[in-house]
Chains A and B, each alone.
Chain A
Amino acid sequence: MYTKKVMDHFSNPRNMGEIENPSGIGTVGNAKCGDIMRMYLDIDENGIIRDVKFKTFGCGAAVATSSMATELVKGKTIEEALQVTNKAVMEALDGLPPVKVHCSLLAEEAIHAALWDYAEKNGIKIEGLAKPKTDIHEEEEREEIVY
C-alpha cells in the first residue's frame, strides 16, 4: 500500500521530537479525524530554518509526510520553505495512496502554521503566507456511496 520511501520515513522518522523555545510552533489537524501534526521551527537572524522537529498523531502516511516535510525545509530560507507544497512532499515520497493525500496537505499546513506563529511572534509579515486553516478536513470532499 505504501512506497518504500513512505515506509522508510514512517519506521525511521527524521527530525522527530521537540525544540525548546522554538521560533515558531504550529499544530494542525484534529484528533477527531485521526491526525494531528505539530511542527517546531528554529529560525536564525538571517531567516534560515536552522532546525525543525515534528510530532504527529496519525497513520503511517501522516508520520512519513511530517518527516519528509521537515527534511525539505531544514536549512532553507523562509521563502524556500514556503515553496514546499504538499505535491513536493508527495513526490519526494514517491507518491501516496489517494486516500492519504490529505496527510501531505496537513504537512504543508503544519509548516505554514509554524511560520505564521514565527511571524506573529516577531511582528513581521511573510510575503505569500496566509493564516493557516486549523483543520484541513474542512474542505475535503469524499466520495459518497449510495446503498
Chain B
Amino acid sequence: MEKKIYLDNAATTKTKPEVVDAMLPYFSELYGNPSSVYEFAAQNKKALDEARLTIANAIGTESAEVYFTGGGTEADNWALIATAEAYEGKGKHIITSKIEHHAILHTCEYLQKRGFEITYVDVDENGVVKLDQLEKAIRPTTILITIMFANNEIGTIQPIKEIGAIAKKYKVLFHTDAVQAFGQLDINVDELGIDMLSASAHKVNGPKGIGFLYIRKGIKIRSFIHGGAQERGRRAGTENVPFAVGFGKAVELATTTMKERTKKETELREYLIKRVLAEVPYTRLNGHRTKRLPNNVNFSFQFIEGESLLIMLDMNNICASSGSACTSGSLDPSHVLLSIGLPHEIAHGSLRLTLNEDNTMEELDYTIDKIKETVDKLRKMSPLYEDFVRRR
C-alpha cells in the first residue's frame, strides 16, 4: 500500500486540522499575554478561560480545578511530588501499581530515594489491579494512591470507581494518570472519587507539549513551577495560549464525537483481534478481552522478536509499536507485559496496534496480511521456532 497506515495512536495522534485552525490566530495576530490589563490581551485571557472550561466540563468539574501543564508527564510529576511534600507530615507512604507509565514509576523511584515508601500493587493476568492487595496495603501513613485509568500498552481499564471508593474509605488521596483514557472513556471525577487526574492533549488530536492536572478543591498541594501568578500561582510561567486553545478545541471534538468514534474503533478492534487470533497460530492477546480501551490491540507472537516485526511492518508503510527490549532501550522487555506474567521471550514478541476513527477495514485487511507474512518469515528464521517444531 502506498499510503501510510498509522496504527500507533497511543504514541501520539494527528493534530486535527480544526485544532490547527483554532490555534493559528493565537500565534500571529492574537499574541497578547493573558496577564496584561489592556483590551488586546483580554481576548487571550478569554480564550484561555474557554479552553479550561471545555476541559473541565469533559471530566465533570469546574474550571477552577483544571491547571494547564507542559504535558501528561509534568502533570504526573507534579501530582506525586507535590502531594509527597505537602502531606509528608501525615506519612510517607504511597501506593501505585506495577504497570504504571514511567512518568509515574520513575517519579516514585525519585521519591523513594528521598525517604518515601512505595508499594507497587500487582495486577492479574489481564492487567487489572488487585483490589484486595491494594486495600491491604493501606497504612495510617499512606498519603496517596496513584493508579492509571487505562494502560498505555495493553489497554486494560482499571476499576477506577472501586479504587476511588477505597481511597475515600481510608481518607487517602487518589490520583489517576488518565493520559490514555481521557477522550476515549467517560470520566466524571466526582462519580469516580478522583482527587487528581493527569491528561495530555496530543493523545486526543491536540498539540504536543500541553496537558493538564485536575486538582480537587481543598487539596493543599503546592506549586511545582515557581514564578508568577499564572494558573492561580500553582503553575507559573506565561500561559501557552495557542496550545491551550488547541487543547480546548481537541477536547470539544473528542467529547462530541466520543460515542460514535469509540463505537467504530471498537468494531475495528474486534475485527482485528478475531482475525489475527484465528489466522496466526501461537498468538495471544495481551490485556483484558473486553475491559480495554476501544482502540487498543496488543498481541504476542511466540518465537519472534518485536523490533524485527516493527521494521518489516514499517517497510510496508505500517506504523506500530512493541514492548520488546530492543524498542525500550533496555535489556528487559516491557514491565507491563512481565507484570501480567508473560515469560521474557513472549514479552519480546509483542505488537501494539492502536487505532483511530479514520482507519478503514481495507487498511486492517492489508495490515493483517502483512502481519501473517512477516510473522511467518521471522519464524522461519527463528531458532526458537526450529526447536519448537523439532520437539513437537
Contacts and interface: CB of A to CB of B under 8 A. Distances in A.
Contacts of B326: 34, 58-59, 61
Contacts of B382: 55-57
A11 B304 CA distance: 15
A118 interface: no
Contacts of A52: none
Interface in A37-87: 37-38, 55-63
Given A10-B311, A31-B348, A63 B333 contact: no
A5 interface: no
A13 B381 contact: yes
A27 interface: yes
Q: How large is the interface on B (under 10, 10 to 19, 20 to 34, 35 or more residues)?
A: 20 to 34
Contacts of B107: 147
Interface in A104-147: 137, 140, 142, 146-147
Given A34-B324, A99-B329, A147-B110, A59 B307 contact: yes
B312 interface: yes
Contacts of B1: none
Contact of B331 (A11, A33, A38, A63): A33
Contact of A34 (B329, B348, B383, B386): B348
B383 A63 contact: no
Majority-rule SS of B interface residues:
helix
Interface string B155-179: 0000000000000000000000000
Given A16-B381, A147-B107, A60 B311 contact: yes
B311 A31 contact: no
B325 interface: yes
A34 B333 contact: yes
A35 B305 CA distance: 8
B325 A34 contact: yes
B119 interface: no
Interface string B282-326: 000000000000000000000111011001100100000000111
Interface string B327-365: 001110100000000001100100000000000000000
Interface residues of A, number: 31
Given A27-B383, A36-B384, A142 B331 contact: yes
- Most chain B CB within a 10 A radius of its CB, from A2, A10, A137: A10
Interface in B363-388: 380-386
Majority-rule SS of A interface residues:
mixed
A147 B346 CA distance: 29
A31 B381 contact: no
B263 interface: no
A33 B345 CA distance: 8
A12 to B, nearest CB: 11
B72 to A, nearest CB: 17
B6 to A, nearest CB: 19
Contacts of B330: 142
B325 A33 contact: yes
B109 A147 contact: yes
A57 B326 CA distance: 12
B103 to A, nearest CB: 11
Contacts of A27: 383
Contacts of B304: 57
A36 B331 contact: no
A45 to B, nearest CB: 28
A56 B377 CA distance: 12
A58 B345 contact: no
B307 A55 contact: no
B391 interface: no
B113 interface: yes
Interface of B: 106-107, 109-110, 113, 303-305, 307-308, 311-312, 315, 324-326, 329-331, 333, 344-345, 348, 380-386
11 contacts: A11-B312, A32-B344, A38-B383, A55-B386, A57-B304, A59-B307, A60-B307, A62-B308, A147-B106, A147-B109, A147-B113
Given A34-B331, A61-B326, 13 more contacts: A10-B308, A18-B386, A31-B345, A33-B325, A33-B344, A34-B345, A37-B383, A56-B383, A57-B303, A57-B305, A57-B383, A59-B305, A63-B381
